[in-house]
Amino acid sequence: MNFVLHGSPVSAGITIGYAHLVSSARLEVAHYEIPAAAVDSEIERFDAALERVRGELRELTGHIPADAPAEFSAFVDLHRMILDDSTLSEVPRDLIRSEHCNAEWALVRQMAGLVEQFDAIEDPYLRERKADVRQVVERVLKALLGHPGPTPSQTSDEQKLIIVAHDLSPADMILFKQHQFGGFVTDLGGVTSHTAILARSLGIPAIVGLHLARHMIRENDLLIVDGLQGVLIVAPDPAVLGEYQLRQSQLELERQKLRRLRSTPATTLDGAPIELHANIELPQDVEDAREAGAQGIGLFRTEFLFMNRRSLPSEDEQFEAYRDVVAAMRGLPVTIRTLDIGADKALDGGTGDAGPNPALGLRAIRYCLAEPHIFLAQLRAILRASQFGRVRLLIPMLAHAHEIEQSLALLRQAQASLAEAHVPYDRGIEVGGMIEIPAAALALPMFMRKLNFLSIGTNDLIQYTLAIDRTDDTVAHLYDPLHPAVLHLVAHTIQSANRAGMAIAVCGEMAGDLTFTRLLLGFGLRNFSMHPAQLLAVKERILRTSLADLKALSARVLRSADGTRTRELIAKLNS
């Protein structure tokens, strides 16, 4: 059946491919048929996932502190037993063989039977153990999710797979990052959720907030994802398909043309140099940053190093990751943001206790100050990496003067411990703060007195100014970067920093959105940090811009109290 769904566009571009339904490692999974020739490899995939989870549980056992309560190791032992019980480890293999079904489905079907048996048990303690069965199954599903199985559509390079999910966590996206998918579509999510940001960083078309896509689309349906308009076409007719194939090749041509600008300096028509930096999530993203000709890393979201794992990365592991990025940037500045965990970026991939209101809870610097040993290990790792190039340290979600002071005190402590051990580091390391809470934007002198630079996180600034959860598609229509309050805070922060001679950048999604390039230049911004995939398009816009033309119009945008008028003025600015 041919139909069209509308959602929020996440990342520009068009992709055409076949639907691959996935679960977000939760217990709703796709059921699809495995071709006879692929049954053996599907069983191998299942076995490999079991083996991986066995390894995780072994690792967990090895890390149990001596003083941990006895229940803890009993619980890990129980999970190991459940995993090795033939109901979960053997029967799904038989199901895959006899029914030619995918491993996820076989596993969940078995789990359902097992959970029913638990329900019949009278002893309340034993009955509750079904939660452990679910947790073990979730672990195996997660391991399978990282290694999607063959589907009938995965037959050639041209036939791309498009992930269709109800919801995906940022941790899930990191797993998908290792595979070559053509696009992503989800029922839930807002355009500046971290899941969406990661999809954008992959440079592939994606749409979120499609509501019923996961329910309506079947495995292997032919899909067109128009990430520009947020339109998903299911089972298109040949004329529509032809039209989109044409548009797709036009977009590819435009991308190729942009590549020629890689080493052209980003200078406006009236000669003002503009700095364009890249945002990265994982050390390997540094390649994309270099390919896009970024002048530095303006935001390294380090929390992604902490995801999809049961234990925290050690100081040494972190040091190596930071050093690799710093070395790869060959003397260009690398702004490493300290751990911004919490809200939609839960450490364990979203199953932890996030608190009653996660976005307002123990997130980012609040979490780090509550867990100083984690923060100190990260600070030491960043400092150790600082001797391999030019490192800047950026602290997220600051709102209070005492948070700045405590952060700086812990930094001094980390520095002292390194100095004592004669470990070299850059003693002149610059420390900056994210301006992403309205309170911070309204109390700038407090930040400017104590820090060396500022970076505006527009994603959170908008979320907290307008009181809308950036991950919630039901309020996505209220997420408005052009709201007068948002524009006022952004312009005020840029202008105040410029007046005080303090370095200021924007590293939220507004920096990589062409709609706002000229407006931000008009507000006085000279340093943008964005996903590498956006960088050359923003550069091209800058090359065609004269600053002299912007001032008056952007001031008018700032004064406008009427949304329609604001949009007209923006259109004029961009014409």
Which C-beta is closer to Mg ion: that of 167 or that of 436? 436
Among candidate residues 343, 334, 333, the one with its CA nearest the CA of residue 302: 334
Which C-beta is closer to ligand PEP: that of 26 or that of 345? 345
Pick from 142, 160, 301, 531 the residue near ligand PEP by CB under 6 A: 301
User: Binding of ligand PEP at residue 436 (CB under 6 A)?
Assistant: yes
Least Å from the CB of residue 389 to ligand PEP: 22
User: Binding of Mg ion at residue 288 (CB under 5 A)?
Assistant: no
Which C-beta is closer to ligand PEP: that of 9 or that of 148? 9
Partner touching 438 among Mg ion, ligand PEP, none, CB below 5 to 8 Å by kind: none
User: Binding of Mg ion at residue 190 (CB under 5 A)?
Assistant: no
User: Binding of Mg ion at residue 509 (CB under 5 A)?
Assistant: no
Least Å from the CB of residue 295 to ligand PEP: 18
User: What is the spatial distance between Cα 3 and Cα 14, in angstroms, rounded to a whole number?
Assistant: 17
Size of the site for Mg ion (CB under 5 A): 3
User: Binding of ligand PEP at residue 459 (CB under 6 A)?
Assistant: yes
User: Binding of ligand PEP at residue 458 (CB under 6 A)?
Assistant: yes
The values of phi and psi at residue 274, to 5°, are -120, 135
Pick from 460, 509, 513, 540 the residue near Mg ion by CB under 5 A: 460
Cα angle for residues 416, 451, 373 (degrees, 5° grid): 40
Partner touching 469 among ligand PEP, Mg ion, none, CB below 5 to 8 Å by kind: none
Instruction: Please list the active-site residues.
Output: 194, 507
User: Binding of Mg ion at residue 513 (CB under 5 A)?
Assistant: no
Which C-beta is closer to ligand PEP: that of 520 or that of 547? 520
Partner touching 458 among ligand PEP, Mg ion, none, CB below 5 to 8 Å by kind: ligand PEP
Among candidate residues 509, 466, 472, the one with its CA nearest the CA of residue 484: 466
**Interactions with ligand PEP, residue window 493-552 (CB under 6 A):** 507-508
Least Å from the CB of residue 548 to Mg ion: 33
| Number of C-beta neighbours around residue 58 at 10 A | 12
Pick from 187, 340, 403, 426 the residue near ligand PEP by CB under 6 A: 340
The 139-178 contact track toward ligand PEP, x by CB under 6 A, reads ----------------------------------------
Least Å from the CB of residue 452 to ligand PEP: 18
Among candidate residues 253, 223, 229, 252, the one with its CA nearest the CA of residue 159: 223
DSSP β-bridge partners for residue 335: 392
User: What is the spatial distance between Cα 100 and Cα 35, in angstroms, rounded to a whole number?
Assistant: 7
DSSP state for residue 273 in the 8-state scheme: B
Partner touching 507 among ligand PEP, Mg ion, none, CB below 5 to 8 Å by kind: ligand PEP
Among candidate residues 272, 321, 268, the one with its CA nearest the CA of residue 297: 321
Among candidate residues 218, 201, 262, the one with its CA nearest the CA of residue 10: 201
100 backbone φψ class: left, alpha, beta (φ>0; ψ -120 to 50) = left
- Helix (H) or strand (E) run with residue 232 in it: strand 231-234
**Interactions with Mg ion, residue window 425-454 (CB under 5 A):** 436
- List, as own/partner pairs, every contact residues 315-323 make where C-beta atoms lie below 8 angstroms and the sequence separation is at least 24, other chains included: 315/377, 315/378, 315/380, 315/381, 316/381, 318/377, 318/378, 318/381, 318/382, 319/380, 319/381, 319/384, 319/385, 321/283, 322/381, 322/382, 322/384, 322/385, 322/391, 323/384, 323/385, 323/388
Q: What is the DSSP string of 138-158?
A: HHHHHHHHTS----TTTTSTT
User: Binding of ligand PEP at residue 457 (CB under 6 A)?
Assistant: yes
Helix (H, G, I), strand (E, B) or coil at 76: helix
Least Å from the CB of residue 459 to Mg ion: 5
- Please check whether residue 206 is in contact with residue 185, taking contact to mean a CB–CB distance below 8 angstroms: yes
Least Å from the CB of residue 110 to ligand PEP: 39
Pick from 460, 473, 513, 540 the residue near ligand PEP by CB under 6 A: 460
Please give the residue ranges that form the binding site for Mg ion (CB under 5 A).
436, 457, 460
Q: What is the contact surface with ligand PEP in residues (CB under 6 A)?
A: 197, 299, 301, 340, 436, 457-460, 507-508
